[in-house]
Amino acid sequence: MPEPELRLVSQGPPDVDDLMRRASRGDSQAFEALYDELSPAVYGLARRVVRDPARAEDVTQEVFLDVWRKATRFDVERGKAKTWVMTIAHRRAVDAVRRSEAQKRQDHQGAPEEVSHDEPADALIAAEEHGAVRDCLETLTELQLESVRLAYFNGYTYGEVATLLDKPLPTIKTRMRDGLIRLRDCLEGAR
Amino acid sequence: MSTDLHTLSGAYALNALSAEEAEQFQRHLEACPACTQEVRELQQAAAQMGASEEISPPTYLKAKVLAAADRTPQLPPQVTRGNVIHVPRHRWSAILLTAAAAVVLIVAGVVGVNQLGGGGPGEQQDLLAEGVVRVFQAEDAHTATMETANGGKISVATSPELGEMAVDTDELPPLDDEHDYQIWAIHDDTYAPVGVVEREKGAAMDMPDPETVVAITIEPRGGSEQPTTEPIMQVNPSEV
C-alpha cells in the first residue's frame, strides 16, 4: 500500500487551465485528464437541465467533442478553462431542451402546450447544492433566485420566465442581472 | 451603450435569450469591452452554480468520448484580434466588377490601394479585425497553409457559410521599407488590385466567384496598379 501522505504531496489536483493548453496542442492524455476532472460537473449539469440520463450522456459527449475541437481557441485571458467548459455545457444542454420542446410542439401540430416546470416556489435551493454556491444563492431575493434558476436549470428564455412568474419582461431581465451580480460578488468574497 | 441592451447581460449569461437576441447582443459585445467583462464575470458565476452538483457519468461514456475525439480534427488556432485588416464587403464586388470591365480597372485599383493603405484607427480598426477572426473561427472554416515562392508561409481560411475568406500573412518574410505585399484578384487573366496588406496583419474579404484566383506579389511601397513581379502565391479560394 502506498503512503497516503506521499501521494498527497506528489500529486495535487491537476491544473485544468494547463490541461486545456496541452489538449489544444493535440495532447490526448491531457484531454483524458480533462475529461476525468470536468465530466462529473458537465454531466451533473446536463442531467439537471435535460433530465433524461441518455440525453444527458449525449450532451456530455457533444460538450467534450466541442472542447477538443475548440481547445485551440481557448484563451485563458478571457476566463478559466472550467468556466469555458461549463458555459459550453450549459449552452448545449439548453439547446437540447429547446430542440425537444420545438419537436414536441411540431408533433402536436402547434397546439400550445402548458409550460411545465418543477414548482419554482418549492425547494428553491436544491438540497444537493452545497458549500459556497448554496450559501451565496441564499443571499438572492426570491424573485432573483427564481428568475436565475428557471432560466439556468430549466432552460427557459427570459420571456418564458416572465410569463411563468407573471412579471413584466424588464423586471425579469433586471432580476437575472442583479441576481447573477449578487452571486458573483458573494462567490468572490467566499474565495 | 444602450441601457436596454446592457441589462441583457444577465439573461445572456444564463443563455436565456432567443437566438436572434443573443446574436444581437453578441454584436453589441464586440463594441463594448465593459459589457464583455461583465458577461465574463456573470458567466463565471453561472458556471460555478452549474458545477455545484457533480454526478459521475457512466464509465462507458469516457471510452466513447475519447474514441470520438480521436477521430475528430481540432480547429486551427484563431488569428488574434487586432492582428488583421479587413477588405470591406462592398469593395470586393467592386473589384470583381472592375476586373470584368478592364477600362475602369486602373482607376478603381488606385482608389483601392489608397483605401487599404491605412486601415483606419480606433473603432473602425477593431470592427474590421472582427471580420477576419470570424472567418478563421467559423464552424465550417476550411483552412490551408501554403508555402510561398519567397520562402514564407501563408494561411487561408474560407467559410462557405459566411461567404468570406481571410488570409493570415504573419509568416511571410519581412520586406524592406521600399516594398509591400499586395493582394490581387485574377479573373480571365486580368489582375485587379485588391490592396496592400501589412505583413503582420492580414485581410478578410468576400469569397470571389469560383473562376477568380487570389494572388500576392511584392510591389514597390504603396502598391502598383498592375503587378510588377511574379506572384509569390496563388490560390483559388473555392478550392481551399
Which of A65, A69, A183 minimises the CB distance to B49? A183
Number of Cα atoms under 13 Å in the Cβ half of residue B45: 31
pLDDT in tens, B22-64: 999 998 888 888 889 999 999 999 999 999 989 999 999 999 9
The C-alpha of B165 sits at a distance from chain A's nearest C-alpha, in angstroms, of 19
Nearest-angstrom CA–CA distance, B8 and A169: 11
Nearest-angstrom CA–CA distance, A151 and B46: 11
The C-alpha of A142 sits at a distance from chain B's nearest C-alpha, in angstroms, of 16
Supply the pTM of this predicted model.
0.60
Q: What angle do CA A185, A186, A187 make, to 5 degrees?
A: 95
* A chain contacts of residue B42, beta-carbon cutoff 8 Å: 177, 180-181, 184
Whether residue A28 has pLDDT greater than 90: yes
> Is residue B214 very low, low, confident or very high in pLDDT (cuts 50, 70, 90)?
confident
* pLDDT mean across residues, chain B: 76
Q: What angle do CA A63, A66, A71 make, to 5 degrees?
A: 120
Residues 144-183 of A with CB under 8 A from B: 148, 151-152, 155-159, 161, 170, 172-181, 183
Question: What's CA B216's distance to the chain center, in Å?
Answer: 17
> Is residue A116 very low, low, confident or very high in pLDDT (cuts 50, 70, 90)?
very low
Comparing CA positions, the residue from A139, A149, A141, A121 lying closest to residue A183 is A139
Whether residue A147 has pLDDT greater than 50: yes
pLDDT in tens, B113-148: 333 333 333 333 333 345 677 787 788 888 878 888
Amino acid (1-letter code) at residue B151: G
Which of A36, A44, A72 minimises the CB distance to B74? A72
pLDDT in tens, B195-206: 788 777 777 777
Whether residue A113 has pLDDT greater than 80: no
Whether residue B85 has pLDDT greater than 60: no
Amino acid (1-letter code) at residue B204: A
* Contact: A43, B56; criterion CB under 8 Å: yes
> Span A64-76, mean pLDDT?
93
Amino acid (1-letter code) at residue A103: Q
> What is the interface pTM, i.e. ipTM, of the complex?
0.85
Number of Cα atoms under 13 Å in the Cβ half of residue B164: 22
pLDDT in tens, B19-31: 899 999 998 888 8
- For cell 498592375, the residue is B226
Nearest CA in chain B to A127: B53
